[in-house]
């Protein structure tokens, strides 16, 4: 018998006030470690310290997001019996993912916001000494704890960026289908289904962004997207032409970059509207973006005009060798 063995999170827990019950949660899932190390940013600890009190025996402060900080953090991670608790946004989680993988240490992600899919993925994106972002393969987290008390206190636009990142799976799946049709690229149908299913429930939350139901489905989308990448061995089902545009901005025009999810949402809508010319899908996206307020956030924070996006396509096609709708232009 042949099976595809994949690493799934041993723990996924969502709700309110659950970080304060972390001892019980870890015990219920048979996570027995002699020591826990909380890794976070100092400003986050100042803001949420009372809510994090007692969750770890040691606290390590980082800035996050940069390669240059990795050696310093690695030097502090010497206890092979410790469980790492990463608390913060994508920059902190990516740094911990990278260092935990280097040290072969188990870690649990506790996001302070749901602005992108860094919460559960097999990739870490870190900025090198030249200011360029690089993607690295890492071990996924042993568990994920999403406390809605933290998420609801993060700026609303961050959750909207996370929503846009997950919804863009639909664009990535269209690119995958196109590559299959025109080049014969194989589709892993389990990964494809996971990627697509991650996005669909979010369309039911156009009128209740910020509700616990929205946060639950956004967390579900992030975890399901991560599983898609692990099943397929790469990000094919969750990163298509829309992600190439965002990565091109980060790579070649960092001074005009903003949150990844907002750039992806902007590119996704443009591609559906003007390149795929899928009026029905463009209208569905526009309705979701308008009702949730994402459209206003994109207009405010994305430093690019629609008419400039075609100029980004040649840069986008240099990011990685991945067949997308751009290859047909």
Summarised one tens digit per residue, pLDDT across range 60-101 is 999 988 889 999 999 999 899 999 999 999 899 999 999 999
Q: Rounded distance, CA 229 to CA 106, Å?
A: 20
> Over the chain, what is the mean pLDDT?
94
Instruction: Please state, in angstroms and rounded to a whole number, the distance separating the CA atoms of residues 58 and 88.
Output: 16
| Rg (the chain; Cα; Å) | 19
Residue 1 reports pLDDT greater than 70 = no
For 288, how many CA atoms within 13 A lie in the half-sphere containing its CB? 23
pLDDT tops 90 at residue 116:
no
Q: Residue 144's beta-bridge partner residues?
A: 12, 109
Q: How many CB atoms lie within 10 A of CB 1?
A: 2
Identify the CA nearest to 142 among candidates 5, 7, 10.
10
Domains, the chain, in order of start with CATH, read: 11-151 (3.40.50.1970), 159-328 (1.20.1090.10)
| pLDDT range class, residue 3, cuts 50, 70, 90 | confident
Please report which confidence band the pLDDT of residue 38 belongs to, taking 50, 70 and 90 as the band edges: very high
Give the residue-averaged pLDDT of 227-231.
92
Residue 18: closest CA among 215, 157, 214, 226: 215
pLDDT the model gives residue 260: 94
The answer on pLDDT for 179 being more than 70 is yes
- pLDDT over 70 percentage in the chain: 99
């Amino acid at each position: 018998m042949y099976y595809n063995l994949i690493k799934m999170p041993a723990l996924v827990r969502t709700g309110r006030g659950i970080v304060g019950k972390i001892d019980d949660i870890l015990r219920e899932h048979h996570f027995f470690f002699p020591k826990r190390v909380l890794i976070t940013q100092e400003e986050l600890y100042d803001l949420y310290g009372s809510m994090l009190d007692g969750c770890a025996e040691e606290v390590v402060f980082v800035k996050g997001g940069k390669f240059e900080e990795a050696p310093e953090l690695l030097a502090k991670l010497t206890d092979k019996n410790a469980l790492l608790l990463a608390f913060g946004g994508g920059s902190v989680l990516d740094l911990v993912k990278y260092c935990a993988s280097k040290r072969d240490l188990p870690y649990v992600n506790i996001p302070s916001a749901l602005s992108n899919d860094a919460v559960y993925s097999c990739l870490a994106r870190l900025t090198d000494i030249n200011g360029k972002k690089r993607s690295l393969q890492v071990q996924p987290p042993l568990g994920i704890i999403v406390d809605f008390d933290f998420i609801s206190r993060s700026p609303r636009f961050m959750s909207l960026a996370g929503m846009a990142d997950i919804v863009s799976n639909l664009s990535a799946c269209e690119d995958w289908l196109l590559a299959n049709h025109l080049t014969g690229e194989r589709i892993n149908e389990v990964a494809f289904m996971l990627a697509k299913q991650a996005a669909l429930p979010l369309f039911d939350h156009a009128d209740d962004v910020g509700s616990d139901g929205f946060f639950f489905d956004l967390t579900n989308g992030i975890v399901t997207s991560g599983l898609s990448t692990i099943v397929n061995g790469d990000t094919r089902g969750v990163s298509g032409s829309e992600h190439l545009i965002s990565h091109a901005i980060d790579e070649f025009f960092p001074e005009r970059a903003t949150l990844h999810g907002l750039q992806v949402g902007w590119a996704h809508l443009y591609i559906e509207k003007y390149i795929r010319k899928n009026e029905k899908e463009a209208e569905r996206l526009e309705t979701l973006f308008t009702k949730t307020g994402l459209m206003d956030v994109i207009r405010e924070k994305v430093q690019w005009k629609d008419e400039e996006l075609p100029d980004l396509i040649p840069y986008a096609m240099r990011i990685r060798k991945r067949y997308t709708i751009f290859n047909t232009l």
